[in-house]
A = this chain, B = another copy of it.
Amino acid sequence: MNPELVKGRPSTSGDGYPLNTTTLIRHAARTSPEQEIVFRTSDGRWDRYTYADAYSRIVRSANALRDLGIQPGDVVGVLDWNSRRHFELYWSIPGTAAAMLQMNLRLGEEDLGFVVRHSGTSWILVEETLLAVAEKIAPTVPDVRWVIMTDKPLEQVETSLPDPLHYEDLLAAASTEADWPMIDETSAYSACYTTGTTGRPKGVYYSHRCIYLHTMTMVAELGISAYDSVMLITPMFHANCWGLPQAAVQARAKVVLPGRYAAGELSPLVDAIIEETVTVANGAPAIFGPMLDYIKTLETKPDLSRARFLSGASEPPLSLMRGYAELTGADIIHAYGATETTPLVSVNRGIKPSLAQLPEEEKWDRKRSQGVMLTGVDFRLVDGEDRDVPFDGKAQGELLMRGPWITASYHDLNEPERFHEGYWRSGDVATIDTFGYLKIVDRIKDVIKSGGEWISSIDMENALTSHPLVREAAVIGVPHPKWQERPIAVVVTDGGVELPLSEIKDVLAPQFATWQMPDKVLFVDSLARTSVGKLDKKVMRESYKDVYAD
């Protein structure tokens, strides 16, 4: 135990009983054996089984892993879509006290190989349609053993993987007797690697305790229950699928697993949402947007008034939120977090009842924000000198967090600059208003530090693009001899027309004080972007670093 903790009188409670994820699935199977799990198979058919069925396969899966010689503390990788086997492995791997490595199949092969080696992964289970990904990294991880997950017999699978085993054969041979160890709750349940723009992926290893508490909080704050039907749209290799698989099981909700789906063809998801009366789902605006477009084409609009769709990755556009609300009644819930935070730290469910008196536009303004911090996440906002700033809706500060599901370190990597007094530095600059609403205004590396004050680049970019001739804009801070940094705007206009600085300032005047205005506007043909299409402000800061030099 942490020696800084104050000790009170001893309790008589069952404090030695550990928080294990096995508790969640075993309890659900015992108390709701009849509940359904709907899944799509590799060949695109929808099928279904029950919690009792799933649990009996999970028991055999755990026994099969042990039969392979997998031990507590080993790391087992998974390469799969949102399939029922992936769902089963979410429980069986950690249930043996091994850790499940969540393999992001969109990573480059060099990074993916690094992740496997860095984590010491000994076995990888790969879905048949992802063999190409596995085969690319296999030569770089010669000690890894492979298991193929498929509905076909092994002989019908063509692969260059060395001596692969067959998951269903292993299950068929395994014992049906449940034999779960009680696991020290600080043991790793799973591992995810963050993929920043610089450096190697960094390992975050989630404990059973972390996952258990994140799960309970999610169920509590989203009100998930046995009356819900939960569809997992976020890839299950992304940050624990945001904890939704575990939350659905704790709530004993119906689970809907869409398997592999294409971002260009989302109508099957919408059809399944209607068919299976889905009330909870998670995804990015890039998924919910096209789904809404499809809903618009439907003659009868579905009644999704019980639905709570968690939307993360980027701020959901107002048009998306209002579109769902008006056409279907669904609540698009802006959710915020990071790989380092398991991932949820705030959600924006509904609109607080205490805001009932506010004008409609102010409500929607709050609804766009990151919402209210989850109970259990302790947080601060600090300025450039790490002094706390107030929660008044105006003062900006970097958001620092700590708590049971906030990372306290990186695996096998010393990164002291990412922590401060036991808090993890989110790298996000935010305000928190008097109703508790968190609003992320910028990344700390992009915020402009001018004379000890901070200027949000994102707000200013949004304001600039409201000018009818401005097609896109970036605002960056560049070194200034007197003010440390000063903002410049880099702008692409229709037809390359150069607007006078005064006209630019007129556009900004309603939202920004004079001292916050950019002193220069540069008109360019295009903005520097990263390989994934994000503004590359690092490159821009380098290009324009001498603009204010005397």
Residue positions of A touching B, CB distance < 8 A: 1-2, 4-19, 23-24, 27-28, 30-35, 72-75, 94, 97-99, 181-189, 203-207, 209-210, 213, 216-217, 219-221, 223-227, 250-251, 342, 349-350, 352-354, 372-373, 375-376, 378, 391, 402-411, 434-436
Do A7 and B182 touch (CB < 8 A)? no
Whole-angstrom distance between the Cβ of A284 and the nearest chain B Cβ: 25
Residues on B with C-beta less than 8 A from A220 are 216, 219-220, 224, 250-251
A interface, over-half SS:
loop
* Alpha-carbon gap, A409 to B210, bound state (A): 27
Contacts of A2 in B (CB 8 A): 16, 18, 182, 184
Chain B neighbourhood of A405, CB < 8 A: 13-14
CB pair B402–A13 under 8 Å, yes or no, is no
The answer to whether A205 and B12 have CB atoms under 8 Å apart is yes
Q: Is the CB of B350 within 8 A of A27?
A: no
Enumerate chain B residues within 8 angstroms of A5, measured Cβ to Cβ.
Answer: 18, 181-184
Instruction: Determine if A8 and B250 form an interchain contact, defined as CB atoms under 8 angstroms apart.
Output: no
Asked whether, in the complex, the Cβ of B9 is within 8 Å of the Cβ of A206, the reply is: no
Name the residue of chain B whose CB is nearest to the CB of A189. B11
The answer to whether A6 touches B376 (Cβ under 8 A) is: no
On whether the beta carbons of B403 and A14 are closer than 8 Å, the reply is yes
Q: How far is the CA of A312 from the CA of B539 in the complex (A)?
A: 65
Question: Are A8 and B210 in contact (CB-based, < 8 A)?
Answer: no
Given contacts A14-B403, A19-B404, contact A434 B33 (CB under 8 A): yes
Q: A6-B72, A13-B407, A16-B408 are in contact. List 15 more A-B contacts (CB 8 A).
A: A7-B73, A7-B183, A7-B184, A8-B73, A10-B187, A11-B188, A13-B207, A14-B405, A17-B404, A31-B373, A32-B354, A33-B436, A216-B216, A216-B220, A225-B349
The closest CB in chain B to the CB of A31 belongs to B436
On chain B, the residues within 8 Å of A16 by CB distance are 1-2, 408
Which B residues are in CB contact (< 8 Å) with A342? 13
